[in-house]
Structure 1
Amino acid sequence: MIEILIADNQTLTREGVKALLATMVDINIAASAAYPIELEKLINTYEPAVVLLDPYYSRRFTVDDVRHIMARYPHVRILILSNRQNREQIQEILDLGIKNYVFKECSREELVYAVYSTAKGEQFFCKNIFETLFGNKLIPEKADTLPQLSSRETELIYLIADGLTNNEIAEKLFLSVHTIKTHRKNIIRKLGFTFKNTAELAALLQKR
């Protein structure tokens, strides 16, 4: 069971995240905090695996709070969940060593992936983070005419971009490795190019 704390001073945000994750049987929202001092007490009480935190809204929580949690509670992994920020603000967070960041406009699927990835110590950024960081520079030339991908193929692209191997993806999706390899071949066949790096995968997702 992944124990989570939500740190956000917006009641609707806290309740909305709870509702989005409520159906996940292996995720438990232990508590939520509206103030830094409250968050620290809850960390000591629940010892969560993941803290969802917005360091930019209304100065209630700040980047300094992120630094404090990372320094005092190194076992706690932080997932940044914020409104859309500019490139400099995102980079400021990444420079602290944060590996997981999603905007509040992201999809439920991206949020769920982000929670699981954060809990496992793996990196995950929603597609809009890549768009803010890189713009359209990394989008393949034929991106505007890309054929439609199935939901499974799109899901697979996220997992590949997250650095998972074929075996890890197969285990996560309860599929055979052969099926994963087939999906990858189909994606390459549809798109007409191979995936050389994560940036290409992220650029593809920006356009969908």
Structure 2
Amino acid sequence: MTKIIIADDHAVLRAGLVQIISKEADLKVVAEVQSGEELLSKINEIDFDLIVLDIGLPGRSGIDTIKEIRKFYPKVPILIFSGYDETRYGVRAIQAGANGYISKEDTKANLIEAIRRIKGGRRYITPQLAELLAMELDKNVEKAPHERLSDREFEIMRHIAMGKPVSEIADLLSLSVNTVNTYRARILEKMGLNSNTQIALYALENKLLD
């Protein structure tokens, strides 16, 4: 029996996942959480085999959560189950330590296949994501401006693009205001932009927001 933790901040979606997974005789949901912090606490409290994780969690991001899990559980299978397609977070998620990435728009059958595949020690990567990963390794391929950002810079860039003030971003990510301002300066420099408005326009044009 594969014991699964689901981490997603949408209660209706979690309920749907539980229903889908519970129909499989060899799979069982043993816990549901709605944030990265709650997940990091839960994995130290219960016995589990696999994590199904949404990338867009409140507070600590899914990418940050993966990295933190990997410090203590380097081999536990992690499947990203995301509303974002692979072009937005797929490469970052795999590089952070996820074993697979599947869209919430995908089929129930593919979800179950993905869970079983990563539990068996393999990866679940779509052809599109495989191509993106190959491009990431090709030093001759010019990266888009936002792809030059670190995971933390990318996360802060999205918050800025959504119009959040520096103080709110600092609270959300448990950073100082000065640190967020430093990240903002790096983001502008790396992306060749001059203002928060330009960041917002870029994010909208490149479909980087919800």
Q: Indicate the SS of the match to 2:37.
A: helix
Shift of 1:105: 0.7
1:40 paired with 2:37, answer no
The answer for the alignment partner of 2:15 in structure 1 is: 15
Task: State how far apart, in whole Å, the 1-side matches of 2:64 and 2:117 are.
Answer: 23
Q: TM-score, normalised by structure 2?
A: 0.57
Q: Give the deviation of 1:124 after TM superposition.
A: 1.1
Residues 139-159 of structure 1 show CA distances to partners (whole Å, capped at 9, x for unaligned) of xxxxxxxxxxxxxxxxxxxxx
Instruction: Describe the SS at the equivalent of 1:9.
Output: coil
Q: CA deviation at 1:54?
A: 1.0
Query: Where does the alignment leave 5 or more consecutive residues of structure 1 unmatched?
Result: 135-208
User: AA paired with 1:23?
Assistant: K
Q: What residue is the counterpart of 2:29 in the other structure?
A: 29
Residues 1:92 and 2:92 aligned together: yes
Written as runs of structure 1 = structure 2, the 5 A alignment for 1:159-170 is: none
Q: Does 1:3 align with 2:11?
A: no
Distance (Å, rounded) in 2 between the aligned partners of 1:7 and 1:51: 7
CA contact (8 A) 1:4 1:48 kept: yes
1:76 partner SS = coil
For residues 53-97 of structure 1, the C-alpha deviation after alignment (integer angstroms, 9 at most, x for no partner) is 112245554311110001112242111000123525211112224
The one-letter code matched in structure 2 to 1:118 is: I
Shift of 1:42: 1.9
Q: Distance in 1 between matches of 2:66 and 2:8?
A: 13
Tell me how far 1:101 sits from its aligned partner. 0.8
| Displacement over 6 Å in runs of 4+ | 131-134
Aligned residues: 134
- Name the structure 1 match of 2:103: 103
RMSD: 2.4
SS of the counterpart of 1:44?
Answer: coil
Deviation string, structure 1 residues 141-182 (Cα, Å, up to 9, x no partner):
xxxxxxxxxxxxxxxxxxxxxxxxxxxxxxxxxxxxxxxxxx
Q: Distance in 2 between matches of 1:68 and 1:25?
A: 31
Change (3 A) 1:51 1:77: same
- Against the structure 1 CA distance between its residues 12 and 128, is the aligned structure 2 distance closer, same or farther, given a 3 Å change threshold? farther
Q: Give the CA deviation at 1:130.
A: 5.8
Q: TM-score, normalised by structure 1?
A: 0.57
Match status 1:112 vs 2:112: yes
For 1:28 and 1:115, locate their aligned partners in 2 and report how far apart those are by CA, in whole Å. Answer: 11
- Equivalent residue runs for 1:188-207 within 5 Å: none
Deviation at 1:36, TM superposition (A): 2.3
Q: Structure 2 unaligned segments of length 5 or more: list them.
A: 135-210
The letter of the residue matching 1:94 is I
Bigger drift between 110-119 and 88-97 goes to 88-97
Tell me if structure 1 keeps the 8 A contact 2:36–2:58. no
